[in-house]
Amino acid sequence: MVNMIESGPTRAMETLQENRILRPLREPSTAFGVSLCLMHLFLALFAYSIVPYSISQLFTDGLTLPTAVHWLGTDQIGRDYLSRLLVGGQVALSVSLVGVMAAMIVGTILGLMAGYFGGKVDSVVMRITDTLMSIPELILIAVLVLTFGKSIGALMFVITMVYLPGVIRVVRSKAVSITMLDYVRAAELRHESTWFILIREMMPNMLGLLAVELAIRTSSAILKISALSFLGLGISQPTPDWGLMVQEAMSVVFTDPWFLFLPSIMLSSLIIGINFAVDGFARSFGISTDDL
Amino acid sequence: MALPALSESPQTIYDMIEQSTTLHYIKVDGLSVRYKTGPHTELIAVDGVSFNLERGGTLGIVGESGCGKSTLARALLGYTRPGSYFYSGSVHIGDRDILGLDDVLMREYRGGLASMVPQNSLGSLTPHQTVGRLIFELVCLHSGLHGKAAKFRVLELMDSTHLPDPAELYDRYPHELSGGQRQRLVIAAALVAKPELIVLDEPTTALDKTIETKVLDLVREMQRDTGTTLIYVSHDINVIAAMCERVLVMYDGRILEQGKTLDVFADPSTPYARELVASVPCLSRSHSVQQGSKEPGKNVAGSDTTQSLLKITDLSFEYSSLKGLFTKVTGNPKVLDRVSFGIAPGQVLGLVGESGSGKSTLANLIVGLATGYTGTIELSGEKISGLAKHRDHTLTRRIQIIFQDPLSSLNPQHTVETLLCRPMQIFFGYTRNQARDEAVKLLEELELSSDFLSRRPRQLSGGQQQRIAIARAFAAKPDIVLCDEITSALDVTIQAQVLEILGRLKREYEMAYLFISHDLAVVSSISDTLMVLEQGQIRDYGPCADVITKPTSPYTERLLDAFESQITDSVKKKEKRA
């Protein structure tokens, strides 16, 4: 069953078809998601060099509508709105990325250990996980924020703690199935160290899953941080943040809905972008995103 | 489908075919089935296949995995797998092209006139319905019977397939039946509408050999009694030879050869078919007698041999039962029961047994993947125990194991280089370069070029993968290699290659093997000594030829009967006639 018939695909298509990593980009929704992600990544990295004005300088006495000088107007205390909007995702994005990354590293190691060793190790890790999961998320966050204060570092820790149990569970279930496979037996039989078995034999076989995990958890973390900022538990003034901007806009929502929509659109475009991109890549690598 | 209407309307498929005057009952002409694999690519699964079959005939379709035989079988029922479609050609039953049937007639055709027995019986039975209920539904649908009459018919059908105590089985769920019983049940389900054509797609592949024989007997009996036309798909030449008058040999979607089974297998005209027939390990008692008589003085059996490389004494093992909080259940059935044997250097001990006989457990205990046994395991007089990770480095190195499925035993993320170098680096402290040089030598030994070093398992064919797995075992320079069903995942031609390589390596390195398989024919082709295991107990143990010619236990006798190769017999008859 190896006769392939090809009927003249274009050269660009051919390149995409050959490249396993780039193949998902042929789907419009994935390409759309990836371009949104790239745009936000660009903003997060270079926003400070492209913003027209300083983000903390006061230009007017209060809210103004768009003018030729300030394209999106100024906010309640007179700062340039466009500049703050462009920079507003940076903190949330980096806090989520670092927080989720930490959760991924710790969670992967714990999950691998639980799945590989089974027995008592599994029970202990999983019972701790269950305990963490049984605490309502918002209460956990509130307690952590009140304990550690509202610094960026504390926020990262909060994100790590919130996402850790989920990562452990997903990694453990995959590790359990990989542990059954004979190549793990073969490694044990040649006296490989436990570390080698976990990291070199087992982990590479779940890299696709881990990548999808990372992306999906990050998008959810960004949303969570914005929600925290909105509730006053997250990022605080004067740092520009979309969640904070939405909260500020609440007071003028009936007179100037403009200020509510803009940060919301920025936030949604980032989340939608990540989700579309992840879905496309996950589909192409054969990973189900339903149960993440 | 309301079946009573059939007799009134002349336009039913039954009538159409009854009235047919054509010579050939089934006529397939230039049939092609293709899979869409991408917007611009297609995979040709069946490529311009044509054949005829008269009513009541039996046709075997044989070929290796991926040759398109299952796709062809489904096409005969007018069905294509998702993603595939009929590209060209026709399938005529009588003088009606069934590919052109509308939905209503097609349903009638599939359930009524033609039916199919699938390979995976557990997967094809609805798990939440009792088996009686499953057939009951079919009976109601196809024969118009209801209530007690329908139930009576179900029991009758179940009885006709020799299912023990149908009334009791009626209320069981599919998972509560054994594999053989399930397969019988699926056959009973296929018989519901008294079909004229039955397509059997590898119906016995997942079954043990003794059970396979019984199922085949049943199919043969059923065919004789009802005169059904039978199409039997299998990769097993022996089964096809036993079941079918005519045969198609398929390769890469095309028919390579077709004709009378006897003619095709006795005198294949294409190189591929010759290879296929030659690769089938044959087991015939007379043949083994000759082989045995060549080396009459060679006594290799006996657990008391002092020069044994590996010596197992009174080995027993049972799974520790699940301990409840307050209870401890005792008296588990033993997986292994006082097993004793020895393997001398350079000797091959074949271990045969059906699934659940404890043969893999035995391998795991020896190699150190499981523990908790009683009895002793000795390697060159040195007692070994415990798990591999607690054993001495040299001890683990000296006993290597090759697993059944190379796709699972070779890490898909590692290159062949890593796979082969790792054991050498660990066991001999080689540097990466030294190990690499050794790996190249090993690959040459197995007739693979050094280009393979940079490949990953998925870029290799099944046979190449298993050869890499063999190379990995030999990289540790072991004294004994345990082969756990290493050929059962392979096609016959590749199986023959692998066996040939193992034989050559054995002669070169004076290697001892414990060769485990459920396939007596394969085992006897490579072993010096043979051991038959049933329910953890040794039933027969001795030189290979002796066990095959003079089995001492009824179980071995049964196993031998099941395996006695029909093809060698038929070929021999043919030769005699010539």
Mean pLDDT of A28-37: 91
Average pLDDT, chain B: 82
Question: Do the chains contact at A5 and B422, CB–CB below 8 Å?
Answer: no
Cα A59 from chain centroid (whole Å): 34
Sheet-wide strand order for B537-543: B399-402, B480-484, B512-517, B348-352, B529-534, B537-543
Tell me whether A4 touches chain B (CB under 8 Å): yes
Question: Do the chains contact at B40 and A189, CB–CB below 8 Å?
Answer: no
Mean pLDDT of B164-180: 85
Mean pLDDT of B317-331: 59
Question: Do the chains contact at B426 and A192, CB–CB below 8 Å?
Answer: yes
* Cα angle: B369, vertex B374, B375; to 5 degrees: 100
Chain B partners of A190 at a C-beta cutoff of 8 Å? 396-397, 422-423, 426-427, 476
Question: Do the chains contact at B411 and A183, CB–CB below 8 Å?
Answer: yes
Beta carbons of B533 and B357 less than 8 angstroms apart: yes
Alpha helices in chain A (DSSP H): 11-18, 28-50, 81-117, 119-134, 137-148, 152-179, 182-189, 194-196, 207-231, 242-249, 258-285
ipTM topping 0.90: no
Residue A74 DSSP label: B
Span B508-518, pLDDT tens digits: 888 999 999 88
The pairing of beta strand B512-517 with beta strand B348-352: parallel
Beta carbons of A62 and A121 less than 8 angstroms apart: no
Average pLDDT, chain A: 84
Tell me whether A7 touches chain B (CB under 8 Å): yes
The pairing of beta strand B512-517 with beta strand B537-543: unpaired
Q: pLDDT at position A131, please?
A: 93
d(Cα B417, Cα B451) in Å, to the nearest integer?
10
Question: Do the chains contact at B42 and A4, CB–CB below 8 Å?
Answer: yes
φ, ψ of residue B82 in degrees (nearest 5):
-55, 135
Question: Which chain A residue has its CA at the smallest distance from B389's CA?
Answer: A191
Mean pLDDT of B194-205: 86
As given in the structure block, the two tokens for residue B63 are 């070929």
Nearest to residue B502, comparing CAs of B530, B527, B519, B520? B527
Residue B236 DSSP label: -
From the CB of residue B10, how many other CB atoms can be counted at a distance below 10 Å?
Answer: 10
Question: Do the chains contact at A183 and B408, CB–CB below 8 Å?
Answer: yes
Question: Do the chains contact at A5 and B42, CB–CB below 8 Å?
Answer: yes
pLDDT-based confidence at residue A115 (cuts at 50, 70, 90): very high
Chain B partners of A205 at a C-beta cutoff of 8 Å? 411-413
Q: pLDDT at position A1, please?
A: 39
d(Cα B241, Cα B393) in Å, to the nearest integer?
49
Tell me whether B395 touches chain A (CB under 8 Å): no
Distance from CA of B41 to the nearest CA of A (A): 5
Q: pLDDT at position B407, please?
A: 84
Tell me whether B403 touches chain A (CB under 8 Å): yes
Mean pLDDT of A44-49: 85
| Integer angstrom CA distances of residue B466 from B313, B372, B410 | 31, 30, 9
Question: Do the chains contact at A1 and B403, CB–CB below 8 Å?
Answer: no
Span A159-184, pLDDT tens digits: 999 999 999 999 999 999 999 999 99
Given a cut of 80, whether residue B87 has pLDDT beyond it is yes
Question: Do the chains contact at A5 and B41, CB–CB below 8 Å?
Answer: yes
Question: Do the chains contact at B411 and A205, CB–CB below 8 Å?
Answer: yes
Given a cut of 80, whether residue A11 has pLDDT beyond it is no
φ, ψ of residue B326 in degrees (nearest 5):
-115, -10
Question: Do the chains contact at A5 and B252, CB–CB below 8 Å?
Answer: no
d(Cα A160, Cα A139) in Å, to the nearest integer?
15
Given a cut of 50, whether residue B301 has pLDDT beyond it is no
Question: Do the chains contact at B43 and A201, CB–CB below 8 Å?
Answer: no
Tell me whether A12 touches chain B (CB under 8 Å): no
- DSSP for A39-67, please give it: HHHHHHHHHHHH-SS-SS---SSS-B---
Question: Do the chains contact at B43 and A181, CB–CB below 8 Å?
Answer: no
Taking CB atoms and an 8 Å cut-off, how many pairs form between chains A and B?
80
Given a cut of 90, whether residue A36 has pLDDT beyond it is yes
Higher pLDDT, A20 or B575: A20
Alpha helices in B301-405 (DSSP H): 359-367, 393-398
Q: Which of B41, B45, B388 sits opposite A188 (nearest CB)?
A: B388
**Testing the interface with A: which of B322, B413, B416 to mutate, by most A Cβ within 10 A?**
B413
Given a cut of 90, whether residue A51 has pLDDT beyond it is no
Residue for token pair 């660990």: B426
Beta carbons of B279 and B496 less than 8 angstroms apart: yes
Tell me whether A19 touches chain B (CB under 8 Å): no
Tell me whether B388 touches chain A (CB under 8 Å): yes
Tell me whether A3 touches chain B (CB under 8 Å): yes
Q: pLDDT at position A14, please?
A: 47
